[in-house]
Each structure stands twice: as structure tokens, then as C-alpha cells.
Amino acid sequence: MLIKINVSSAQRTEALGLVDIFRGKVVDVSEDSLTIEITGDAGKIFAVQQSMSKFGIKEIARTGKIALKREKSGQSLSSRRMNVTSTPESDEETSRSGSWLVDGGLPSPSYELPSKGDVYPVEPNEDEVWRFPVLDPDWGQVEDDEPSGFRSHTLSMLVNDAPGVLNRVTGVFARRGYNIQSLAVGPAEKPGISRITTVVPGTDESIKKLLTQILKVIDVLKVQDLTHIPFAERELVLIKIAASSKERRDILDVAAIFRAKTVDLSDHSITLEMTGDLEKAAALQRLLQQYGIVEVARTGRVALVRESGVNTKYLGTQELVNKFI
């Protein structure tokens, strides 16, 4: 969860003390506000909101719950370990057959889509949004200098907490042929209001048209494209790694570098929890592939506007420019 609270200079020490108690992290500071990152179960999240309400909560962005099964001692992971190496030829062959091989084992059964259900006719795809593999965990951000003008757009929406509102919103994406890279939904700062944070690839012009269509949907109150303004973003990742006693120390060293926490440990596996942006999550996953990744669970991106106005991507670019001047 990202929570933005009103904090004066006189209240800042008290607020930071509460952040330490709940083991949170401050991700943005301005003259009159703090933006805080908190992870935990529903009870902890509720307690944080209750404690911070005395200062005045400005905005909240929450993800849903993710979970991985805790492993039992003595249980083998050999049949569940993910295949860490793949080639375009093998990926193409398995995708044609409708099944994927796991660690050289038998292919998993293929399933046919039911003939009934929600079917959306896709509008003429002039923007070619489908050619980007947005569901690939190593895909990352679309580069700003992409010749076609495509880039990842982070959209924040406020909607009424009403049945079917998420289905209506995602239906707009489906009809216009947009594949969603990530989606996070949770209660907002006001009762009865939910915040939807989603990431989709597209050009600036095509996203403007998309926002116009979303605003026409019933129960949608506000839509904002955060892409071109400074914003704080976070994503929660749970990764279960097959780890022998010899590999455990190396895995924990990698986890320490990424400030990941160990949430479960057995005699043959380690489960890590990490928060960060998309690039950090992908980098950790790539480094851990050599040990064998058993399972991965990731939330969608949550984002809030930085009241400080600090643009981390711009500062990173300026550091590179100054280095070569």
C-alpha cells in the first residue's frame, strides 16, 4: 500500500515514529506531506490507516492480496521447478501445442476456451498495441525513444465501489485492443471509493482517446495519466526459489542486495518478499533463475503523484549526461 498523509513540520517526528513501528518506508517527502510504503496483511493495513488518520489521509493506493504455499520439510520440488532456460524456437513450439513443459516433464494439459462468456469485438487496431509482449516478466518498460512512439502509461482511476465496475472498465480496454500489463485495485482514501491503477502500452495520442472512453463508463469518477508527471510507484513480489543447503547463503546474499525479506524457509526452498519498481523486480527474478524459481506471485503497480515534484527518471538521465560532459 502507498499512503499519502498531511504532515506539518511539527508533526513529522511523530509520523516517522509510527512509520518505524509499522516497518514502513518513506518514499516521498514534501513540505506538508509524506508518502509511505506499507506491506502486510489486512489487519496491519487497517491499523496503519487508523493510526495515520489523525494527520489526515490525502490519497491511498492499494494492491490485492497475493500468496504462495508454504513448503513442508521433506517435500520434493524437482517436479515443480520452473524451466529456467528457454529459446524462441522452444517457446514457439510449446505455444502452438497449447502446453508448457516443466523441467523436462510431461506437458501440462491444454484447455480450450469456453464458447460462452464475455466476448468483446476488437475495434480496428491502428495503433498496433498487440505487438508488445506486455505479459513477459522480463519485458520491462517500453523505451521512450521507441520509433513508433509507444511507451508504458500508468493510469490512476477513482471509481465507485459498485458491482461490475471493474468489468466495465476492463471492457473498454478489450474493445479497443489494449493488453493490460498490470492491474491493481483496492479501497481509496474515502469510504465507498476504489482506486484502480493500471499500466498499458500506447502512444500519447491513443491513450488520450482511451481516457475519454473510460470517463464515459458508469461509476468512473476520475481518470489520470501519471506518465508525464513525477510519481512514486511500488510493486510487491513473492518469489519461491528451490534452494539446497549449499545455495542458501548465496540466495540470501542476493536478497540482501535487493532488500528482500525472507518470509518462509524449508529444507529445500526459500520464499522472498520484495517491493520496488518493475525493473527491480525483473532484475531480482533474472538473478535467481540460475537456482530455479518454483513460483512467482506479483501484484500490479500502485502509484501516487509525488508532492515533492522530484522526478527520479529525469534525475537518473541527468546523472548520465553530467558524467560524460
Q: What is the SS3 string spanning 187-253?
A: ECCCCCEEEEEEEEEECHHHHHHHHHHHHCCCCEEEEEECCCCCEEEEEEEEEEEECCCCCHHHHHH
Check if the beta carbon of residue 307 is closer than 8 Å to that of residue 7. no
| Residue 70 pLDDT level (bands cut at 50, 70, 90) | confident
Mean local confidence (pLDDT), 55-60: 94
pLDDT for res 83: 44
Buried/exposed 219-255: b ≥16 CB within 10 Å, e otherwise: bbeebeebbeebbbbbbbbbbbbbbeeeebeebeebb
Candidates 231, 196, 204; CA nearest to 142 is 204
What residue ranges define each of the domains in the chain, with the CATH number in brackets? 2-61 (3.30.70.1150), 129-230 (3.30.70.260), 232-303 (3.30.70.1150)
Q: Is 19 exposed, middle or buried (0-12, 13-18, 19+ CB in 10 A)?
A: buried
Write the pLDDT tens digit of every residue in 13-28: 999 999 999 999 999 9
Residues 6+ apart with CB under 8 A from 250: 291
Residues 6+ apart with CB under 8 A from 5: 15, 33, 34, 36, 52, 55, 56, 57, 58
pLDDT for res 98: 37
Flag the least confident range among 105-114, 127-136, 203-212: 105-114
Write the pLDDT tens digit of every residue in 110-168: 445 444 544 444 455 444 444 555 445 444 454 455 566 778 899 999 999 999 999 99
Percent of the chain with pLDDT over 90: 48
Q: What is the C-alpha to C-alpha distance for residues 79 and 292, in angstroms, rounded to an integer?
A: 12
HSE, CB side, 13 Å, CA atoms: give it for residue 325. Answer: 6
pLDDT for res 113: 46
pLDDT for res 254: 94
Tell me, what DSSP letter sits at residue 181?
A: S
pTM of the shown model: 0.71
Q: How far is CA 257 from CA 41, 147, 251, 287, in A?
A: 25, 35, 10, 11
Flag the least confident range among 146-160, 209-223, 269-283: 146-160
The residue length of the chain stands at 325
pLDDT for res 244: 86
Candidates 153, 166, 179, 177; CA nearest to 217 is 166
Q: What is the C-alpha to C-alpha distance for residues 105 and 300, in angstroms, rounded to an integer?
A: 31
Average predicted confidence (pLDDT) for the chain: 79
Question: Would the pLDDT of 76 be above 70?
Answer: no
Residues 6+ apart with CB under 8 A from 255: 261, 262, 270, 272, 274
Q: Are strands 33-37 and 182-187 parallel, antiparallel or unpaired?
A: unpaired
Flag the least confident range among 41-45, 58-62, 313-317: 313-317
